[in-house]
Structure 1
Amino acid sequence: MYDLIVAGGGAAGMMAAGFAAQRGKKVLLLEKNEQLGKKLLITGKGRCNLTNDCEIEEIIKNFPGNGKFLYSSLYSFSNWQLREFFSEWGVETKVERGGRVFPTSDSARDVVEALKKFIKNNGVEIRLKEAVEQLIVTEGEIKGAKTKKNSYSGNNLLLAVGGAAYPTTGSAGDGYRLARQTGHNIIKTGPSLVPLEVAEGWITKLQGLKLKNVTATLTIAGEEVVEEFGEMLFTHFGVSGPIILTLSRQVANNLNQELKLKINLKPALSIEQLDERLQRDFSKYSRKQFKNSLGDLLPKGLIPIIINLSSIPEDKFVNQITREERRELLKLLTELELTITGTRGFRRAIVTAGGVDTEEIDPSTLESKLVEGLYFAGELVDVDAYTGGFNLQAAFSMGYVVGNQVT
């Protein structure tokens, strides 16, 4: 008989298990994979962006999906407390661009090892390669869980098995099925923080090109809905990078509509300032061919694409370019248009949008309002954020709340 059964050995699950055991509770952690923290190991490209050092109100603003639901969790276990926690377990942290917090070692493995040490030192019983197949519920109360191997009894159970993103790490949507079995509503899920596919064939020639300090504007059915400034990356299938991942949540929800992406390559300049800059460059290279006049303005790899799209002959001498041609070029530089055809799906998504309906979960305890003793935490819940460490902070905070809540 366990005080708490935790399904899922990720950020939220390990945090909940460790803190409950630290309070003297008998805790069982069930993980379907052969190791704990499998998804944590690949976050932040293996560096683990575990939180952000901004204020809690700012963290909440970075959750387009139900950020206010997290007030209690984040104030119970803040980003500052999280960094102190990891410091106590041997992982020092550093702050990088955009407030992103990483382990000083740049190793996600160090984060996972610290969490493993935390739960083992506090006496958590760990069962690997055991996925929860069924929840045992009697008269509206949790009584335990069944796996293919065993049946376990307990009056409290935390579902923290992740969403549907990166299914190779074990997040295959199991939690939604289990939640539905107990009568919970699942808000429609979709990939979020996911690279985008585009129709334009010339994109393949730019594979690997990274652009900094640009803006990307997403239009849906001709209407501008969101604009992001920062860094992006061209790939063999389309576009990725921080600003694209942030935009992607809107894309996944509107794939049945016309989706366009407009890239402003020089957002720091007004159209008039950019025109003046272009005229100075054209004056400087007036006796050169058009193809040799853009080196001061654009990355080398992008120049042939812009020339081709501009319809200005590449061998035309710069001093022969007309005002109308220059205006068309300006439009291209400020509104380089891409047609979005889809996302890379859950296999390449960092997080899942949608999940267990927050209306059916007590935000202060994370206990189900439908089933006594059933708790939810992490990506399984209908909360999701932009990039920057916010999603992991939410998972750690929610896990902490559950670990300190169960009696």
Structure 2
Amino acid sequence: MSSTAKKIIVIGAGVAGLLAAVTAAHEGAKVSLFEKMPKVGLKMGITGKGRCNITNAAPIMDFIAKTPGNGRFLYSAYEKFDNEDLLDLFHSWGLSTKVERGGRVFPESDDAQEVRHLFMKKLRDEKVDLHLEEPVKKILIREGKISGVMTGKRSYEADAVILTTGGASYPRTGSTGDGYRMAKEMGHKVTTIRPALIPLVCKEDYCKELQGISLKNVTLSVDGGGRRKAEEFGEMLFTHFGISGPIVLSLSDKVSLWLSQGHSVKGSIDLKPALTQEVLDKRVLRDLEKYQKRQMAGALQDLMLHRMIDVVLNLAGISRNLPVSELKKADRVKLVQTLKALPLTITGTQPIEEAIVTAGGISVKEVNPSTMESKIVQNLYLAGEVLDIHAFTGGYNLQAAFSTGHLAAISALRSEHA
């Protein structure tokens, strides 16, 4: 490596930081990577339930649509390095991948640690100077330009700095919001931090009664303040505090936003979304005729999970011991309505520390989308979850981090700033 090689410091060895460091070093820069934890890629190691949902096989325009948090900001990053480029790179490193339901891409081994170890190998191969357990305390600026960083040990000079410290979720992996503090110190605006992709807390006691029950092919609808509405179809789960599962996580970004704005949020679960209320009523009538000699609790066994029967009857105001023959039409109508709209009062989210993704972050209005360079400090580049960018589950968040990290590295290397 030439002694005149550009010195680039990357802060944070997560998804964006690892690819930024490897990319810049491969292209000829002298790279130092600082990570406050004892290992690199800790959050990567737990993504996709420990399997690492690397990216998605969807067309790149779908990525923008699946990124409610400033998706359009990512056009340039995806244009320069998209999901196909990422997979080509991983395959060239020897990683075998597979595509699963919903276009989700995983390592064939189903082991996120394989991806971590690949990056560790590439850091060694590219001679990246890795500083573990050495958190950066301050980014140094001279005359509006990056001059280096200061850690608890000493200061280091740099021609450019790439800030990739992640969000505020999963603090045990190192994401504790350090990047927000450093960005503010340099004059950047940090938008309100809140959890996204997070389980929801509900007021109703029945959620605790049903904890552990997974519902498939149901529709969850949410309503914020009576004016904002959203719904998702698929799978969800009852927990001791409320609800979780894929469709809950998908809706949680909107719910988190509405709650942060002071709106009350109501929810309802349609247990039979494939049936209209009229068709469901006929189905219920058939079951009641079939079990006409039983009590109500025993007459609904074909219609729903056994553990849900008492909850549904209670919400409908019907005694479980009521003989089927004594059920009035008005009560049957109420039963059908309850099956089509199991009520929920959503009072909050789980703590941000448990969020899969952080919503909010360094304002993208202060970052050049074509280069990831700060508009406030010359030779400062920002990438990954530290930015105000967030997407749905399915590999979209990791791709955003990889793409912005790659673009930041290439831009820092090729910058002609003095």
State the TM-score, normalizing by the size of structure 2. 0.95
Greater alpha carbon shift after TM alignment, 156-165 vs 294-303: 294-303
Aligned partners of 1:87, 1:322: CA distance in 2, in Å?
A: 65
Q: 1:207 aligns with which of 208, 211, 217?
A: 211
Which moved further from structure 2: 210-219 or 316-325?
316-325
Question: Within 5 Å, which residues of 2 pair with 1:323-334?
Answer: 323-334=329-340
**Equivalent residue number for residue 249 of structure 1:** 253
Structure 2: gaps of 5 or more residues: 414-418
What is the alpha-carbon distance in structure 1 between the residues aligned to residue 337 and residue 105 of structure 2?
38
State whether structure 2 residue 119 is matched by structure 1 residue 115.
Answer: yes
Q: Distance in 2 between matches of 1:182 and 1:264?
A: 49
User: Which of 52-61 and 296-305 deviates more?
Assistant: 296-305
Query: Aligned ranges for residues 109-188 of structure 1 at < 5 Å?
Result: 109-188=113-192
1:365 is paired with a residue whose SS is coil
Q: Does 1:375 align with 2:355?
A: no
Match of 2:82 among 61, 78, 85: 78
2:29 is paired with a residue whose SS is coil
Once structures 1 and 2 are overlaid, which stretch shifts more, 340-349 or 6-15? Answer: 340-349
Residue 229 in structure 1 maps to residue 236 in structure 2: no
Residues 11-42 of structure 1: CA distance to partner in whole angstroms, max 9, x if unpaired? 10000000110011100000010000011111
Aligned residue for 1:285? 291
Deviation at 1:224, TM superposition (A): 4.4
The yes-or-no answer on 1:67 pairing with 2:66 is no
Which residue of structure 1 aligns with residue 321 of structure 2? 315
Match among 105, 111, 120 for residue 109 of structure 2:
105
Write the distance in 1 (CA, Å) between the matches of 2:332 and 2:131: 67
Instruction: Tell whether 2:194 aligns with 1:190.
Output: yes
Give the Å deviation of 1:183: 0.7
Query: Residue in 1 aligned with 2:416?
Result: none
Distance (whole Å) between structure 1 residues aligned to residue 324 and residue 57 of structure 2? 49
Instruction: Please say if residues 5 and 27 of structure 1, whose CA atoms lie closer than 8 Å, have aligned partners that are also in contact.
Output: yes
The superposition leaves residues 221-277 of structure 1 with CA deviations (integer Å, 9 ceiling, x where unpaired) of 223421111111111111111111111112222222211111111111111121121
User: 2:9–2:32: 8 Å Cα contact kept in structure 1?
Assistant: yes
In structure 1, C-alpha distance between the alignment counterparts of 2:86 and 2:294, rounded to whole Å: 58
Deviation string for 1:179-235 (max 9, x for gaps)?
011111111111111111111112111111111111111111223421111111111
Q: Indicate which of 340, 344, 350 corresponds to 1:344.
A: 350
Mapped partners of 2:6, 2:131: distance in 1: 13
In 1, Cα distance between equivalents of 2:272 and 2:321: 25
Corresponding letter in the other structure for 1:52: N
Q: Distance in 1 between matches of 2:288 and 2:227?
A: 34
Give the TM-score, by structure 1 length: 0.98
How big is the alpha-carbon RMSD for the aligned residues of Structure 1 and Structure 2? 1.2
Tell me the equivalent position of 1:395. Answer: 401
**Contiguous gaps of at least 5 residues in structure 1:** none
Distance 1:274 1:123 in 2: 65
SS at match of 1:188: coil
Match of 1:55 among 54, 59, 73: 59
Structure 1 runs (4+) deviating above 4 angstroms are none
SS at match of 1:113: helix
Any idea what the Cα deviations from partners look like across 1:293-315, whole Å, max 9, x if unmatched? 22211122212211222221112
CA distance in 2, matches of 1:82, 1:274: 48
Q: Secondary structure at the match of 2:411?
A: coil
- Tell me whether 1:239 sits opposite 2:252 in the alignment: no
TM-superposed deviation, 1:159? 0.4
Does structure 1 conserve the Cα–Cα contact (< 8 Å) formed by 2:220 and 2:232? yes
Partner of 2:265: 259
| Matched residue SS, 1:287 | coil
1:19 aligns with 2:20: no
> 1:341 Cα deviation (Å)?
1.3
Question: 1:72: how far off?
Answer: 0.9
CA contact (8 A) 2:136 2:151 kept: yes
